[in-house]
C-alpha cells in the first residue's frame, strides 16, 4: 500500500505535464490549375515525348566506345514535366562477365545506391527514369532488355523508358537514339509469363508490337549552346592569321566504303540460323505434346470401351482415373525467344536496307561530275 | 584544335638527359574529351547560389608528356574568405565508383570554373598532387563566359613550387596547351549537338534517318562548290586577284580523274548494292509474314 501512495506522492510532486499540443490538422490546399501541369503528384499526365540533354548524349556515346561489354547498359536520371520526360544525367553500370547472378546483382545495386547518393549531394537529379542500352547494327531485342524494362515499368512512375543507341550507325555518321516502352499488351502477357500460341493470338503479339516508340528530342541548355557555338566558329590568332575552329565540320558520312555490309549480312545469317533452331525446338516440343495427348486420348477411349464392356457383362464399371497423372503432358513452350529472334532478324535487315540506300546515293553522287 | 583565347606563348621543354629518364616528366600537352567539358558545364549550372566557382576531379590516362582527360566528376567544396574545404571522402568514393566502370582511368588533376588562381587554388593543387604522386597534377580552368569580359575557354596549368622555402600555399601555375580531341564515334555526337545548339529552339528531334544526314552533308558540299565557283569566275573576269597557290590546289583536287570508276566496276558495284537492298526487303517481308502466321495457327 505504501508503494502506490508513494507513487502518487511522487506524481503529485512532479510538475503537471503540460498538455501535449493538439496536433494541428493539416490544411490541404488545392494545387492551383496554373501549376497543375508542373506538380503532378499522381503521375496523371501521360508521357508524350522524351527529351535528352546534351550531356547525356555525350556520356552515352563515351560509355558505348569505352566499354568492353557486348551491350553496355546504364541508368538515366531526370524528371518528367508536363508530358515530357527530361533526362538530365546518366551514369554507366559496371559490367560483370562470368559472375554468378546473385553477387553481380548485389554489386550493381550497391553501386547504384552510392552513385545516386553522391549525385544528390552535388545537387544533381537523383530519380531514375529509365535506362539506356547501346547495341550494334540496331539489334537490341534481347531478353535482358525486356526483363529490365519490365521491372522498371512496374516500379517507376510513368513506366520508365529505354533509350537505345546504335553504335554502328553512329560510326557511319548519324548519332542515333530511340526511346521505347513496353506495350500494355506485352506487359499483360509477360506478367502471366504465358507465351503460348493461344496467348500470343489473343494479345495480337508480333515482334513489332513488343515495344512502342516514343518521340525523342535532344536539347542543349543555353550554356552548352554558347560553348559549342564558341568552339565551332573559327578563331583568330593573335598574329593575325586565322586558325581553324576547335570543332571543324566533318564529312565522314560521305565515305564510300562498304565494310559494314559484310558484317551485317553475317549477322543476318546468324540470326536466321538461331531463329531456325528455336523454331525447330518449338516444333519438336509441340510434336511431343501432340503425341502425349494422343496417347492420353487413346487410354481414355480404351477405358471407356472397357467400362462399356463390363457394364454389358453386368459388372461395375472401372473407376474413372485421372488421366493427367498417368500421362504427363508437358506445358506449351514459350514462344518469346523465337519472337525476339525474329525481331533481331528484322532489325538487322532494316539497318542493311538503310545502308544500301545511302550507298546508292553516294555512288551516284561520286560519279556526278564525270558524266559516267 | 586549340581551345581558349589565343596566346603568343611558346612552350619549350628541355631535352631530357639520360640520367633523368626515370623521373616523371612534366606534361607538355593536355587533351580533353568533350564529355569532361560538358560535365563541368552541367556542374556549374547546378551549383548553389552562394558558390562562385565549383571544383571537381579529372580522370584520364597519361603517357610520358601527355595527359588525356576522359571524364570528370564534381566534388563538394566550400570556400569562404578565411578557409577552403574539400570533401575528400566524397572524392574517394566517387573515384572508386568510376573506377569500377572504367578501370583504366586514374586521377590526373582537378578543374575549376572561373579563371582566377589564388592561394586556395594552390592549396587544392597541393592536395591533388598528393593524390597523383609521383606524377604532377594538372589543373584545368574553364571559363564559362558568363561573366562579362572573360571569353569562354579552357586553360590548363601545371604547378611548380616557388619561393625560398616552398610552402603549400605558394606555387606558380605554368600554362600548358590544351586541345579538344574526340574519337571518330564521338564525332557524330558532337556534330549532332552542334547542329542542335544552332537551331532556333535548341532542340532537334530524333531519330534522323541516314538519308537526312547525307542530304545535309551534300548540301554543304554544294555550297562550298558554289563559293569556289564564284571565286574562280571573279578571278577569270579579272575582278579579283587570283592566288596561284589556291589555283594549283583547286586544279589538283577537282581535276582528279574518275577513270578508275570505269563502267565495268561501277555497274558491278551498283548491281551488288541493288541486290543487297532487295535481299534486305525480302528478309523483312519474310519476318513479318512469319510472325503473323504464328498468330493464325492458333485459331
Question: Among partner residues B1, B211, B270, which is closest to A357 by beta-carbon distance?
Answer: B211
Write down the pLDDT at residue B22. 53
Could you tell me the sign of the dihedral formed by the alpha carbons of A228, A234, A237, A243, in that order? positive
- On chain B, the residues whose CB falls within 8 A of the CB of A124 are 46
Res A238: pLDDT: 40
Closest by Cβ to A206, choosing from B33, B204, B291: B291
Measured in whole angstroms, how far is the alpha carbon of residue A3 from the centre of its chain? Answer: 69
Set of chain A residues whose Cβ sits within 8 Å of the Cβ of B210 = 169, 172-174, 253, 354-355, 357-358
Count of C-beta atoms within a 10 Å radius of residue A41: 8
pLDDT digits (tens, 9 = 90+) for A69-127: 777 888 888 888 777 888 888 888 887 655 556 677 777 788 888 888 877 777 777 78
Q: A181 has which bridge partners?
A: A212
pLDDT band (50, 70, 90) for residue B259: low
Of B3, B33, B206, the CB nearest to A246: B3
Residue with C-alpha cell 562550298?
A: B224
pTM value > 0.80: no
What is the spatial distance between Cα A130 and Cα B298, in angstroms, rounded to a whole number?
35
CB contact under 8 A, B186 and A248: no
Residue B271 to chain A, least CA–CA distance (Å): 10
Residue of A nearest to B33 (CA): A62
Q: Check CB contact under 8 Å for A363 and B192.
A: no
Q: Taking a C-beta distance cutoff of 8 angstroms, is the pair B176, B137 a contact?
A: no
Q: What is the pLDDT of residues B62-107, one digit of tens each?
A: 887 888 888 888 888 777 777 778 888 888 888 888 888 888 888 8
According to DSSP, the residues that pair with A236 across neighbouring strands are: A242
Cell 505535464 maps to which residue?
A17
Task: Give the pLDDT confidence score for residue B36 in this predicted structure.
Answer: 87
Chain A CB contacts of B86 below 8 Å? none
Residue B113: the pLDDT is 83
As a whole number of angstroms, the distance between CA A347 and CA A141 comes to: 9
Name the closest residue on chain B to residue A207, using Cα atoms. Answer: B291
Cβ pair B194:A228 closer than 8 A: yes
Cα B265 to chain centroid, rounded: 40
DSSP secondary structure letter of residue B26 = P
Q: Which residues of chain B neighbour A167 with C-beta distances below 8 Å?
A: 185
Question: Residue A16: its pLDDT value, please?
Answer: 53
- In terms of CA atoms, which chain A residue is nearest residue B294? A197
Residue of B75, B96, B190 for testing the chain A interface, max A β-carbons within 10 Å: B190
Query: What is the C-alpha separation between B240 and B35, in angstroms, rounded?
Result: 44
Higher-pLDDT residue of B176, A28: B176
Percent of chain B whose pLDDT exceeds 70: 78
Averaging pLDDT over each range in A40-49, B59-68, B115-124, B246-255, which range is the top one? B59-68
Per-residue pLDDT of chain A (372 residues; tens, 9 = 90+): 555 566 666 656 665 555 555 556 666 666 666 666 566 666 667 778 888 888 888 888 888 887 777 778 888 888 887 778 888 888 888 876 555 566 777 777 888 888 888 777 777 777 888 888 888 776 777 777 777 777 777 777 667 788 888 887 777 777 778 888 888 777 777 777 766 666 666 677 777 778 888 888 888 888 778 777 777 776 544 443 445 555 666 676 676 666 667 778 888 888 888 888 888 888 888 888 888 888 888 888 888 888 888 888 877 766 666 666 666 777 777 777 788 888 888 888 888 888 888 888 888 877 776 554
- Across the interface, whether the CB atoms of A356 and B269 are under 8 A apart is answered no
Which of A219, A349, A372 is closest, CB to CB, to B284?
A349
Contact A170 B188 (CB under 8 A): yes
Report pLDDT digits (tens) over B195-243. Answer: 777 776 666 666 777 778 788 888 888 888 898 888 888 888 887 777 7
Distance between B21 CA and the closest CA of chain A, angstroms: 31
Which residues of B fall within a CB distance of 8 Å from A283?
none
For chain A, the three-class secondary structure string (H helix, E strand, C coil) is CHHHHHHHHHHHHCCCCCCCCCCCCCCCCCCCHHHCCCCCCCCCCCCCEEEEEHHHHHHHHHHHHHCCCCCCEEEEEEEEECCEEEEEEEEECCCCCCCCHHHHHHHHHHHHHHHHHHHHHCCCCCCEEEEEEEECCCCCCCHHHHHHHHHHHHHCCCCCEEEEEEHHHHHCCCCCEEEEEECHHHHHHHHHCCCCHHHHHHHCCCHHHCEEEECEEEECCHHHHHHHHHHHCCEECCCCCEECCCCCCCCHHHCCCCHHHHHHHHHHHHHHHHHHHHHHHHHHHHHHHHHHHHHHHHHHHHHHHHHHHHHHHCCCCCCCCCHHHHCCCCCCCCCHHHHHHHHHHHHHHHHHHHHHHHHHHHHHHHCHHHCC
CB–CB of A217 and B203 under 8 A?
Answer: yes
| ipTM of model | 0.80
Contact A355 B210 (CB under 8 A): yes
Least confident of B31-35, B88-92, B114-118: B114-118
| Beta carbons of B280 and A115 less than 8 Å apart | no
Q: Which residues in chain A have Cβ-Cβ distances shorter than 8 Å to B53?
A: none
Amino acid at each position: 500500500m505504501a508503494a502506490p501512495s508513494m507513487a502518487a506522492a511522487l506524481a503529485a510532486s512532479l510538475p503537471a505535464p503540460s498538455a501535449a499540443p493538439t496536433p494541428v490538422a493539416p490544411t490541404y490546399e488545392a494545387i492551383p490549375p496554373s501549376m497543375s501541369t508542373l506538380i503532378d503528384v499522381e503521375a496523371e499526365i501521360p508521357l508524350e515525348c522524351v527529351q535528352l540533354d546534351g550531356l547525356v548524349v555525350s556520356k552515352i556515346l563515351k560509355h558505348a566506345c569505352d566499354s568492353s561489354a557486348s551491350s553496355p547498359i546504364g541508368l538515366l536520371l531526370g524528371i518528367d514535366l508536363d508530358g515530357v520526360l527530361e533526362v538530365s544525367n546518366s551514369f554507366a553500370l559496371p559490367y560483370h562477365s562470368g559472375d554468378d547472378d546473385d553477387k553481380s546483382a548485389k554489386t550493381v545495386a550497391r553501386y547504384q545506391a552510392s552513385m545516386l547518393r553522391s549525385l544528390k549531394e552535388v545537387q544533381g537529379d537523383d530519380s531514375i527514369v529509365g535506362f539506356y542500352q547501346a547495341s550494334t547494327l540496331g539489334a537490341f531485342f534481347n531478353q535482358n532488355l525486356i526483363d529490365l524494362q519490365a521491372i522498371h515499368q512496374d516500379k517507376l512512375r510513368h513506366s520508365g523508358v529505354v533509350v537505345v543507341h546504335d553504335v554502328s550507325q553512329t560510326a557511319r555518321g548519324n548519332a542515333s537514339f530511340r526511346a521505347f516502352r513496353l506495350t500494355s499488351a506485352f506487359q499483360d502477357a509477360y506478367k502471366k509469363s504465358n507465351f503460348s500460341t493461344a496467348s500470343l493470338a489473343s494479345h495480337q503479339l508480333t515482334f513489332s508490337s513488343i515495344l512502342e516508340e516514343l518521340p525523342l528530342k535532344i536539347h542543349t541548355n543555353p550554356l552548352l549552346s554558347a560553348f559549342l557555338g564558341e568552339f565551332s566558329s573559327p578563331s583568330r590568332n593573335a598574329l593575325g592569321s586565322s586558325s581553324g575552329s576547335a570543332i571543324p565540320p566533318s564529312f565522314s558520312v560521305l565515305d564510300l566504303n562498304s565494310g559494314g555490309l559484310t558484317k551485317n549480312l553475317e549477322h543476318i545469317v546468324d540470326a536466321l540460323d538461331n531463329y531456325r533452331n528455336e523454331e525447330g525446338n518449338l516444333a519438336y516440343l509441340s510434336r511431343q505434346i501432340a503425341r502425349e495427348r494422343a496417347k492420353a486420348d487413346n487410354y481414355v477411349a480404351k477405358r471407356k470401351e472397357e467400362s462399356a464392356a463390363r457394364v454389358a457383362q453386368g459388372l461395375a464399371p472401372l473407376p474413372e482415373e485421372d488421366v493427367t497423372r498417368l500421362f504427363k503432358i508437358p506445358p506449351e513452350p514459350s514462344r518469346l525467344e523465337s519472337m525476339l529472334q525474329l525481331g533481331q532478324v528484322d532489325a538487322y535487315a532494316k539497318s542493311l536496307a538503310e545502308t544500301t540506300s545511302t550507298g546508292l546515293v553516294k555512288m551516284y553522287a561520286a560519279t556526278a561530275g564525270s558524266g559516267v | 584544335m586549340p581551345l581558349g583565347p589565343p596566346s603568343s606563348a611558346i612552350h619549350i621543354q628541355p631535352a631530357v638527359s639520360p640520367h633523368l629518364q626515370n623521373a616523371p616528366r612534366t606534361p607538355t600537352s593536355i587533351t580533353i574529351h568533350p564529355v569532361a567539358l560538358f560535365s563541368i558545364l552541367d556542374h556549374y549550372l547546378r551549383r548553389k547560389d552562394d558558390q562562385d566557382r565549383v571544383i571537381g576531379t579529372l580522370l584520364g590516362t597519361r603517357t610520358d608528356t601527355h595527359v588525356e582527360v576522359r571524364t570528370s566528376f564534381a566534388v563538394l567544396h566550400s570556400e569562404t574568405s578565411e578557409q577552403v574545404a574539400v570533401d575528400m571522402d566524397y572524392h574517394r568514393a566517387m573515384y572508386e565508383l568510376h573506377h569500377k566502370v572504367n578501370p583504366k582511368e586514374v586521377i590526373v588533376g582537378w578543374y575549376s570554373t572561373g579563371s582566377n588562381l589564388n592561394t586556395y587554388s594552390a592549396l587544392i593543387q597541393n592536395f591533388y598532387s598528393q593524390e597523383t604522386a609521383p606524377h604532377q597534377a594538372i589543373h584545368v580552368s574553364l571559363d564559362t563566359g558568363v561573366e562579362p569580359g572573360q571569353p569562354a575557354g579552357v586553360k590548363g596549368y601545371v604547378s611548380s613550387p616557388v619561393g625560398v622555402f616552398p610552402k603549400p600555399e605558394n606555387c606558380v601555375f605554368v600554362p600548358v596547351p590544351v586541345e579538344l580531341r574526340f574519337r571518330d564515334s564521338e564525332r557524330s555526337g558532337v556534330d549532332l549537338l552542334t547542329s542542335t545548339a544552332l537551331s532556333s529552339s535548341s532542340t532537334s528531334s530524333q531519330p534522323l534517318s541516314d538519308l537526312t544526314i547525307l542530304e545535309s552533308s551534300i548540301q554543304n558540299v554544294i555550297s562550298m562548290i558554289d563559293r569556289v565557283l564564284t571565286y574562280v569566275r571573279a578571278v577569270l573576269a579579272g575582278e579579283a586577284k587570283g592566288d596561284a597557290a589556291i589555283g594549283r590546289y583547286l586544279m589538283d583536287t577537282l581535276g582528279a580523274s574518275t577513270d578508275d570508276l570505269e563502267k565495268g566496276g561501277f555497274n558491278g558495284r551498283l548491281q551488288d548494292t541493288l541486290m543487297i537492298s532487295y535481299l534486305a526487303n525480302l528478309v523483312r517481308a519474310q519476318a513479318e509474314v512469319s510472325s503473323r502466321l504464328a498468330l493464325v495457327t492458333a485459331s
